[in-house]
Amino acid sequence: MSDDNLDFSASLTLGDFVTDIDCAISLQGCTGLFGASGAGKSTLIRLIAGFLQPSRGRISYRGAVWYDRVAGVFTPAYKRGVGVVFQDARLFPHLTVEKNLLYADRRSDCSRYGFDEIADAFDLSSLFARLPSSLSGGERQRVALARTLLTRPDLLLLDEPLSALDAKRKAAILPYLDDLPKRFGAPVIYVSHNVDEIVRLASRTIILKHGRIEAEGATADVLNAHGDDAQGVIVTGVIAGHDDHYSLTRIDVGAGALALPINKNKTVGETVNLRIDARSVVLARSPLDGLSIRNHLPATIRAIATNDERASFVDVLLDAQGIALRAQVTREAADVLGLAPGGNVYALVKSASFDF
């Protein structure tokens, strides 16, 4: 059991929006904070960071009390040791990249890792002399992330750090986020309304809805139980090996192995979450040869879900030896193939459909 416990019990009313959250979370690795916009994610982050003061309750982290209404305790943000990366980077516009980084470095009183180590890890030395106004959005977020890490935070809050970036820039930054807790020794709370980011980065997830916690637990469990049907299914697997010849990573998901584009950031034996979109699962009545889709999982049909008798598509809910999968097929195909609960099929999963 780690001692990175966040005990949070506080409420705050801003206008007609009430945030009322009680939780005791052991923050290990990366915890996702997921919810639609307006669910209270940012308010919760601002309460943890110390930018907002709640109107009741108590907040403590690693045993240090940050807020206690009854005892009259409020630790200001600059004394909490919480690093925050904002959606809009918030670099200091009058300082160069290097001076932005040094600003944080000089005010940090510990040296878990050095300045150069961070600058190298985020490939920043070529940007040192630049002013923030001359950086691209992706570069700005990289600098912001490095700057926050240089405070050597005890807790790292990432508040939608990628949401202002386009898909290409996002993909370029994601690898830097993969191993943050392990590499830099601080638990991470990662805020996002994007399922793929949560699935990729967070081992545990908290879902917020209307200013309250709706669910909390392992990412796959929480998202499968409370997520949107459109997100497909989150499957947890273990990295079985990397195939350099074909540039594939094989992942054991229990029911079989899936081959995905290679990602060497993941070590063999590591647990990963995969999102399988219902539209990228194809069903066959019998095992098929001569097909370019190589990921075949035998499965039993649990149910056929449809919103509307006359809909073009139906969702077939599958049980692939303990793994719940979801496949979207046309209603016609379901009838022609005679798909019905209890029937056995083969689920074919396109490699390209994974986000990790």
Partner 1 sequence: MSLPDISAFWLTLRLAMVVTVILLFIATPLAYALAVMRSRVKPAIEAVVALPLVLPPTVLGFYLLLVFNPSAPLGGFWVSMTGDTLAFSFAGLVVASVLYSLPFAVQPLQAAFEAVSGELTEAAASLRAAPLDAFLTIVAPLSLRGFLTAAVLSFAHTLGEFGVVLMVGGNIPGETRVVSIAIYEHVETLQYAQAHGLSALLLIFSFVVLIFVYLFNRRAPLHVGR
Please report, as ranges, the residues that interact with partner 1 according to CB under 8 A.
49-51, 76-79, 81-84, 86, 88, 90-96, 99, 103-104, 107-108, 131, 133, 147-148, 151
The rounded distance, in Å, linking the Cα atoms of 304 and 211 is: 34
Kindly tell me which of 107 and 183 has the beta carbon lying closer to partner 1: 107
Alpha-carbon distance values, 5 to 154, 181, 191, 310 (Å): 12, 15, 18, 50
* Strand order across the beta sheet in which 281-284 lies: 281-284, 344-349, 295-305, 313-320, 323-330
Kindly tell me which of 45 and 327 has the beta carbon lying closer to partner 1: 45
H or E segment to which residue 61 belongs:
strand 56-61
* CA-derived radius of gyration, the chain: 23
The rounded distance, in Å, linking the Cα atoms of 338 and 14 is: 54
Q: What is the nearest approach in angstroms of partner 1 to the Cβ of residue 103? A: 6
Alpha-carbon distance values, 139 to 128, 189, 308, 354 (Å): 11, 21, 47, 26
Q: What is the nearest approach in angstroms of partner 1 to the Cβ of residue 223? A: 29
Which among 180, 173, 126 has a CA at the least distance from the CA of 153?
180
Q: What is the CB neighbour count within 10 angstroms for residue 120?
A: 12
Kindly tell me which of 149 and 334 has the beta carbon lying closer to partner 1: 149
Q: What is the nearest approach in angstroms of partner 1 to the Cβ of residue 83? A: 6
Kindly tell me which of 82 and 325 has the beta carbon lying closer to partner 1: 82
247 sits in the region (left: phi over 0; alpha: psi -120 to 50; else beta) called left
Kindly tell me which of 104 and 255 has the beta carbon lying closer to partner 1: 104
Kindly tell me which of 11 and 108 has the beta carbon lying closer to partner 1: 108
Q: What is the nearest approach in angstroms of partner 1 to the Cβ of residue 9? A: 23
Q: What is the nearest approach in angstroms of partner 1 to the Cβ of residue 148? A: 7
Question: Terminal CA-to-CA distance of the chain, rounded, Å?
Answer: 28
Partner residues linked to 206 by β-bridges: 33, 216
Q: What is the nearest approach in angstroms of partner 1 to the Cβ of residue 94? A: 4
The rounded distance, in Å, linking the Cα atoms of 334 and 314 is: 8
Q: Rounded to 5, what percent of the chain is helix, strand, coil? A: 25, 35, 35
Strand, coil or helix: 247: coil
Kindly tell me which of 95 and 293 has the beta carbon lying closer to partner 1: 95
Kindly tell me which of 191 and 325 has the beta carbon lying closer to partner 1: 191
Kindly tell me which of 58 and 80 has the beta carbon lying closer to partner 1: 80
Q: What is the nearest approach in angstroms of partner 1 to the Cβ of residue 87? A: 11
Q: What is the nearest approach in angstroms of partner 1 to the Cβ of residue 108? A: 7
Residue 336 burial by CB count (10 A; 0-12/13-18/19+): exposed, middle or buried? exposed
Strand, coil or helix: 218: strand
Q: What is the nearest approach in angstroms of partner 1 to the Cβ of residue 74? A: 13
